[in-house]
Amino acid sequence: MNVVRVLSRLSIVCLSLLACSGWAISEEPKWIFDGESLDGWEGDQNHWRLEDGCIVGEIPRGTTLAKNTWLVWRNGRLKDFELNLQFRIAGLPDANSGIQIRCQVDSIDHVSGYQADLDMGATWLGRIYDEHGRALLVERGSRVHLKPDGTRQSQAFAPVHQYNVLIRDGDWNDYRIVAVGERIDVFINGTLFSSLWDQQQPDRDLEGELALQLHSGPETRIEFQKIQLESLTAADTDRLAPFPDMGAEASPAKDPQGVLPADASGVSLNLDFEAGNLNDWTAVGTAFEGQPLDRDGIAQRWPGQSSNKSGRFFIGGY
């Protein structure tokens, strides 16, 4: 028996022992979108297509989408992983998308779980959201620890407004997500945007599917390319950003709800129509005569409706 054959057999034995002992074995990064077809992906062909080697999700100009819809990757599940891709987004200011990770898929129109958000940089880019669950988990520029009982610790490591300038407007942007065990980090164009340590029971997800989101709303064009997935192991924590002890002063923290406008006495000004109606507002002139309440301005919430991520209301489910 020659040396090569002996080494080969030893390698097989070692790999078998590792597998039997419960140790996961890292895999090489793989391209999960070949730029030539949407094989392995499932979505609404009215909104998702292949164009110039890219995945394109689109709400055409002059139209709206009443509900979120997803393009789901059906060739595997995510556990511990690193996902790298490039995105480009355009449309009206409310244009919105996201990358669903370790998610639970009921259908291409109903997906639940972790979402790494993206928009054109104004609000959602880089946040971590829980679709059909706990809503906003981590604001960009923050790290959040959710303890088993749901107690939240939150610590800001950068001002939120500084992230607006980090998107390459009209150009390709790098999106990187690293998830190992209970930890998830989101990086965009090489910068850490948000960091989550989720121990909350039973809400956390340690395994699930991958899906790309086209968010309900007005004109939007979201493009994805160069999608690469690498399976990691529990030992790959060096891929994550440091998560320092926040100390007692960071606990407890309120759920992130954003800042609501108020006057000097603390009375809400309700400038973004959070109530979903025109209470306390008086129309002057004829600008609103005969016009419906629309999603891009003021919208009435009807029975059975849900609010979208921007805080406005729309017809259809979330």
Report yes or no: 305 and 316 within 8 Å, Cβ to Cβ: yes
Residue that is written with structure tokens 């891929």 in the block: 239
| Pairing assessment for the beta strands 69-78 and 208-214 based on DSSP bridges | antiparallel
Which of 291, 290, 293, 309 lies closest to 301 in space, CA to CA? 293
Q: Which two tokens stand for residue 189?
A: 């164009």
CA gap 175, 126 in Å, rounded: 9
Which of 183, 163, 184, 162 lies closest to 173 in space, CA to CA? 163
Tell me the pLDDT tens digit for each residue of 124-162.
999 999 999 999 999 999 999 999 999 999 999 999 988
Q: Which two tokens stand for residue 85?
A: 């891709």
Q: Answer whether the bond into residue 252 is a cis peptide, omega within 30°.
A: yes
Tell me the pLDDT tens digit for each residue of 255-291.
444 455 556 666 665 554 545 556 666 777 776 666 6
Q: What is the pLDDT of residue 61?
A: 95
Report yes or no: 151 and 252 within 8 Å, Cβ to Cβ: yes
Distance of alpha carbon 238 from its chain centroid, rounded?
22
Report yes or no: 194 and 166 within 8 Å, Cβ to Cβ: no
Which of 258, 295, 300, 261 lies closest to 279 in space, CA to CA? 300
Per-residue tens of pLDDT for the chain, all 318 residues:
454 443 444 444 444 444 443 344 557 899 999 899 999 999 999 999 999 999 999 999 999 999 999 999 999 999 999 999 999 999 999 899 999 999 999 999 999 999 999 999 999 999 999 999 999 999 999 999 999 999 999 999 999 988 999 999 999 999 999 999 999 999 999 999 999 999 999 999 999 999 999 999 999 999 999 999 999 999 999 999 999 988 765 544 444 444 555 566 666 655 545 455 566 667 777 766 666 554 444 433 334 434 344 433 333 333
Which of 76, 73, 127, 74 lies closest to 97 in space, CA to CA? 127
Report yes or no: 100 and 212 within 8 Å, Cβ to Cβ: yes
Q: Answer whether the bond into residue 202 is a cis peptide, omega within 30°.
A: yes
Cβ-defined contacts of 104-110 (< 8 Å, 24+) = 104/205, 104/208, 104/209, 105/70, 105/72, 105/208, 105/209, 105/211, 108/42, 108/43, 108/44, 108/69, 108/70, 108/71, 108/72, 109/44, 109/67, 109/68, 109/69, 109/70, 110/317
CA distances from 215 to 179, 189, 263, 317 (A): 23, 22, 33, 11
pTM score above 0.75: no
Task: For the chain, report the end-to-end CA distance as a whole number of angstroms.
Answer: 65
